[in-house]
């Protein structure tokens, strides 16, 4: 069976949530990118176990379309991501300690859009300060 015939025979259901109406649910047709962009994938030239490539079979994703790059759910704003990690009960010296992850030096940091940013810089940005490029 040819790749074209396999793609046309594979059933694709549409989402039944009632809001989007276009998001496909179910198995991805053979030879198409599994991120559901609809792009045709190439044939694997060799076995690469960590990527799931099997020689002679279509690869699962186009370059840069792998599932771990896809957003999961609605993206949080910077404030929604930052404020739950701050202890707002004032300490005797008037500080609000950052309770999220810290560097080896003890400075708080947060990952925003795939980039680690210092918690102090985020706090200043949320307070309205304009910071130069980090």
Assess whether 82 and 45 both reside in one domain. Answer: no
The neighbour count for residue 29, using CB atoms within 10 Å, is 20
Q: What integer pLDDT is reported at residue 14 of this predicted model?
A: 47
Assess whether 23 and 42 both reside in one domain. Answer: yes
Question: Is 134 contained in some domain?
Answer: no
List Cβ neighbours of 28 (8 Å cut-off, separation of 6 or more). 10, 34, 36
Assess whether 43 and 20 both reside in one domain. Answer: yes
Q: What is the share, in percent, of the chain residues with pLDDT greater than 90? A: 27
**pLDDT confidence bin for 35, thresholds 50/70/90:** confident
pLDDT tens per residue, range 54-112: 999 998 888 877 755 555 667 788 899 999 999 988 778 888 889 999 999 999 999 88
Assess whether 102 and 41 both reside in one domain. Answer: no
Q: What is the DSSP string of 23-35?
A: -EESPPPTTB-TT
More confident residue, 44 or 64: 44
Q: What integer pLDDT is reported at residue 108 of this predicted model?
A: 93
Please name the helix (run of DSSP H) or strand (run of DSSP E) that holds residue 81, with its range, or none.
Answer: helix 78-82
The answer to whether residues 122 and 101 touch, using CB atoms and an 8 Å cutoff, is no
| Domain assignment of residue 60, given as a range | 1-70
């Amino acid at each position: 069976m040819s790749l074209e015939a396999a793609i046309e025979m594979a059933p694709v259901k549409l989402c039944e949530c009632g809001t989007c109406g276009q998001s496909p649910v179910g198995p991805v047709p053979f030879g198409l990118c599994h991120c559901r962009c609809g792009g045709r994938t190439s044939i694997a030239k060799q076995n690469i176990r960590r990527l799931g490539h099997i020689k002679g079979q279509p690869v699962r994703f186009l370059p840069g379309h792998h599932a771990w790059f896809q957003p999961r759910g609605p993206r949080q704003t910077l404030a929604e991501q930052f404020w739950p990690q701050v202890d707002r009960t004032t300490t005797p010296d008037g500080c609000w300690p950052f309770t999220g992850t810290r560097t080896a030096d003890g400075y708080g940091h947060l990952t925003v859009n795939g980039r680690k940013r210092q918690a102090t810089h985020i706090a200043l940005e949320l307070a309205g300060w304009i910071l130069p490029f980090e």
